[in-house]
Amino acid sequence: GQQLNQSPQSMFIQEGEDVSMNCTSSSIFNTWLWYKQDPGEGPVLLIALYKAGELTSNGRLTAQFGITRKDSFLNISASIPSDVGIYFCAGTNTGNQFYFGTGTSLTVIP
Protein backbone atom coordinates (compact mmCIF):
# COMPACT_ATOMS: atom_id res chain seq x y z
CA GLY A 1 0.00 0.00 0.00
CA GLN A 2 0.95 3.58 -0.42
CA GLN A 3 2.92 5.20 2.36
CA LEU A 4 3.46 8.86 2.80
CA ASN A 5 7.09 9.96 2.71
CA GLN A 6 7.91 11.82 5.87
CA SER A 7 11.15 13.65 6.57
CA PRO A 8 13.34 13.88 8.40
CA GLN A 9 13.19 10.41 9.94
CA SER A 10 14.65 11.72 13.19
CA MET A 11 15.70 15.03 14.70
CA PHE A 12 17.86 15.99 17.65
CA ILE A 13 17.48 19.64 18.64
CA GLN A 14 18.25 21.97 21.50
CA GLU A 15 15.43 23.21 23.68
CA GLY A 16 14.15 26.53 22.34
CA GLU A 17 14.89 25.76 18.69
CA ASP A 18 12.22 25.66 16.03
CA VAL A 19 11.39 22.39 14.27
CA SER A 20 10.17 21.70 10.74
CA MET A 21 9.08 18.43 9.22
CA ASN A 22 7.22 17.56 6.07
CA CYS A 23 5.25 14.86 4.38
CA THR A 24 4.86 14.17 0.67
CA SER A 25 2.66 11.95 -1.43
CA SER A 26 2.78 10.88 -5.05
CA SER A 27 -0.95 11.49 -5.40
CA ILE A 28 -3.35 14.27 -4.52
CA PHE A 29 -4.77 14.29 -1.00
CA ASN A 30 -8.03 15.83 0.22
CA THR A 31 -7.14 15.85 3.90
CA TRP A 32 -3.91 16.13 5.86
CA LEU A 33 -3.63 15.39 9.55
CA TRP A 34 -0.75 15.53 12.00
CA TYR A 35 -0.50 13.25 15.04
CA LYS A 36 1.93 12.98 17.95
CA GLN A 37 2.68 9.70 19.69
CA ASP A 38 4.28 9.52 23.13
CA PRO A 39 6.05 6.31 24.19
CA GLY A 40 3.57 3.61 25.19
CA GLU A 41 0.57 5.61 24.05
CA GLY A 42 -1.62 5.90 20.99
CA PRO A 43 -1.28 8.75 18.47
CA VAL A 44 -3.04 11.97 19.42
CA LEU A 45 -4.46 14.28 16.77
CA LEU A 46 -2.73 17.68 16.71
CA ILE A 47 -4.02 19.44 13.60
CA ALA A 48 -6.40 18.62 10.75
CA LEU A 49 -6.25 20.40 7.38
CA TYR A 50 -8.99 20.27 4.77
CA LYS A 51 -8.18 22.86 2.13
CA ALA A 52 -5.20 23.44 -0.19
CA GLY A 53 -3.13 26.33 1.10
CA GLU A 54 -4.74 26.17 4.55
CA LEU A 55 -2.48 27.22 7.42
CA THR A 56 -3.65 26.18 10.89
CA SER A 57 -2.09 26.71 14.30
CA ASN A 58 -2.48 24.88 17.59
CA GLY A 59 -0.42 26.68 20.22
CA ARG A 60 3.23 26.49 19.17
CA LEU A 61 2.37 24.13 16.32
CA THR A 62 1.57 25.30 12.81
CA ALA A 63 0.70 23.07 9.88
CA GLN A 64 0.07 23.82 6.23
CA PHE A 65 -1.79 21.98 3.48
CA GLY A 66 0.44 22.33 0.41
CA ILE A 67 -0.87 24.12 -2.65
CA THR A 68 -0.13 21.10 -4.86
CA ARG A 69 -2.20 18.96 -2.43
CA LYS A 70 0.68 16.50 -2.44
CA ASP A 71 2.44 17.71 0.67
CA SER A 72 2.05 19.13 4.14
CA PHE A 73 4.35 20.77 6.65
CA LEU A 74 4.43 20.89 10.44
CA ASN A 75 6.40 23.49 12.35
CA ILE A 76 6.98 23.61 16.10
CA SER A 77 8.27 26.87 17.50
CA ALA A 78 10.43 27.27 20.60
CA SER A 79 10.62 23.55 21.37
CA ILE A 80 10.35 22.28 24.94
CA PRO A 81 11.22 18.87 26.44
CA SER A 82 7.62 17.64 26.35
CA ASP A 83 7.64 17.97 22.56
CA VAL A 84 9.63 14.74 22.49
CA GLY A 85 7.83 11.96 20.64
CA ILE A 86 7.07 10.62 17.20
CA TYR A 87 5.12 12.82 14.83
CA PHE A 88 3.04 11.21 12.10
CA CYS A 89 1.41 12.77 9.12
CA ALA A 90 -1.72 11.14 7.71
CA GLY A 91 -4.01 11.88 4.86
CA THR A 92 -6.95 10.85 2.75
CA ASN A 93 -6.63 10.65 -1.02
CA THR A 94 -9.31 11.32 -3.61
CA GLY A 95 -10.48 7.72 -3.23
CA ASN A 96 -11.06 8.35 0.50
CA GLN A 97 -8.29 5.94 1.42
CA PHE A 98 -6.45 6.82 4.62
CA TYR A 99 -2.66 6.58 4.86
CA PHE A 100 -0.05 7.21 7.55
CA GLY A 101 3.46 8.49 7.16
CA THR A 102 6.44 6.62 8.59
CA GLY A 103 6.97 9.12 11.39
CA THR A 104 9.54 11.67 12.54
CA SER A 105 11.18 10.97 15.88
CA LEU A 106 11.90 14.20 17.77
CA THR A 107 14.39 14.45 20.62
CA VAL A 108 14.71 17.73 22.50
CA ILE A 109 17.92 18.24 24.42
CA PRO A 110 17.47 20.45 27.52
Partner 1 sequence: DAEITQSPRHKITETGRQVTLACHQTWNHNNMFWYRQDLGHGLRLIHYSYGVQDTNKGEVSDGYSVSRSNTEDLPLTLESAASSQTSVYFCASSAALGLATTNEQFFGPGTRLTVL
Using alpha carbons, select from 102, 104, 107 the residue that is nearest to residue 3: 102
Single out the residue of 8, 17, 44, 107 in contact with partner 1 (rule: CB under 8 A).
44
Q: Which amino acid, one-letter code, is at 51?
A: K
Residues 48-67 close enough to bind partner 1 by CB under 8 A: 48, 50
Distance CA(108)–CA(95), nearest Å, equals 37
- Contact between 1 and 46 under an 8 Å Cβ cutoff? The reply is no
| Piece in contact with partner 1 (CB under 8 A), picked from 10-18, 39-47, 63-71, 76-84 | 39-47
Q: Does 45 bind partner 1 (CB under 8 A)?
A: yes
Q: Does 16 bind partner 1 (CB under 8 A)?
A: no
Distance CA(53)–CA(73), nearest Å, equals 11
Distance CA(72)–CA(76), nearest Å, equals 14
Residues 86-105 close enough to bind partner 1 by CB under 8 A: 88, 90, 92, 96, 98, 100-103
Single out the residue of 5, 20, 24, 31 in contact with partner 1 (rule: CB under 8 A).
31
